[in-house]
Amino acid sequence: MNLSTNNNIETRITYQGPIERVVVQFAMRAEAEPLIEKFELSFYSLVDRLPHLLFAKGKVGNIELHVVTHGTDARYEVDRVGTENATLAAFKAIEIAQPHLIINAGTAGGFKLQGAAIADVYISSGIVFHDHRIPLGAYREYGNGNFPVAYAPHMIDAISLKSGVVSTGNSLDVLPADFEQFRHSKAAVKDMEAAAVAQVAFDQGVPCLAIKAVTDLVDEPCNVGEIFLKNLSQASTALTEKLSRIIGVLAQGARLESL
Ligand code: SAH
């Protein structure tokens, strides 16, 4: 695994040893549950002011695997999707688990233009924001994020993952201005969390990548909410299958540079 240096910023990652602790972060409980069941992880919660965050952990081969989900919103009884919750969950998970790798896993909208199809599973070749438009000098690129990502060429081949740019924003629907950004970044998939997780991970010196399964196609006119629900189960199955294989590789003992 290499660290992509697509923005020429020195990474803060200093750890060179084996990957022994891994966090997989999901926004939605339905996305996380199959993995928690498969690896028989045990739930634990935090005795602090963030009781909605749901944690599970267990030993898988050589690694300690932690799963964190954003939990349910107490007022609206929906999963707490989006960047604010992603930032908080990533920060807390890194504090608790001290991971050598954090994976933001979940579903995403895909771009047909980039060859995406329903239930394809992507690994991030780059992670950007598309709804942080700040046309003001260096703030423009600051807004775009363009975070360094851990990139695993051997794993891409061995597990047959697609690879592409993950673009994050806080809306499920899209505005014309978003399409400008997608063209600029050559986005393959669009989600609501990856860039927030990547930013926290970068700040904390933890390698980060995103694994996203396609539930809907952004550049095909549709009711995105309906299509999302129709394909959620198929995409979640594909996501769990690929994640299980990734965890299988990590569980055998791996270093970042060998992935
Ligand atoms: N309709 C869904 C809401 C899901 S919100 C429900 O009722 O449960 C969308 C979640 O899936 C976010 O966590 C986001 O990361 C991901 N996602 C899937 N498709 C997306 C798309 N087209 N655009 C943005 N996020 C998407």
- What share of the chain has pLDDT > 70, as a percent? 95
Asked if residue 218 has its Cβ within 6 Å of ligand 1, the reply is yes
* pLDDT attached to residue 180: 95
State which ligand 1 atom lies nearest to the alpha carbon of 78. Answer: 8
Residue pair 99/68 in contact (Cβ under 8 Å)? The answer is no
Phi and psi of 243, rounded to 5°? -60, -40
Strands (DSSP E) contained in 184-241 are 187-191, 208-217
Q: Binning pLDDT at 50, 70 and 90, where does residue 3 land?
A: low
Q: Quick check: is 191 catalytic?
A: no
Residue entry with tokens 């047959």 = 160
Asked if residue 31 has its Cβ within 6 Å of ligand 1, the reply is no
CA 238 to ligand 1 centroid distance, Å: 16
Give just the sign of the alpha carbon dihedral 19, 21, 27, 30. positive
188: tokens are: 């393959």
Q: Of 4-18, 24-38, 188-202, 203-217, which gets the smallest average pLDDT?
A: 4-18
Strands (DSSP E) contained in 120-222 are 121-129, 150-151, 162-168, 187-191, 208-217
* pLDDT attached to residue 161: 96
* pLDDT attached to residue 222: 75
Q: Binning pLDDT at 50, 70 and 90, where does residue 233 land?
A: confident
Write down the pTM of the prediction: 0.94
Q: Binning pLDDT at 50, 70 and 90, where does residue 11 land?
A: low
Buried b (16+ CB within 10 A) or exposed e, 91-117: bbbbebbebbbbbbbbbbbbbeebebe
Catalytic residue among 79, 180, 216, 219: 216
Q: Quick check: is 40 catalytic?
A: no
How much is the mean pLDDT over the chain? 92
Asked if residue 232 has its Cβ within 6 Å of ligand 1, the reply is no
CA 257 to ligand 1 centroid distance, Å: 32
Query: Which of 124, 184, 180, 171 shows the shortest CA–CA distance to 150?
Result: 124
Q: Binning pLDDT at 50, 70 and 90, where does residue 189 land?
A: very high
Query: Which of 202, 67, 68, 178 shows the shortest CA–CA distance to 126?
Result: 202
Residues in the chain: 259
Residues 123-150: pLDDT tens digits?
999 999 999 999 999 999 999 999 999 9
CA 164 to ligand 1 centroid distance, Å: 18
Catalytic residue among 10, 31, 37, 191: 31
Quick one: 69 exposed, middle or buried, by C-beta within 10 A (0-12, 13-18, 19+)? buried
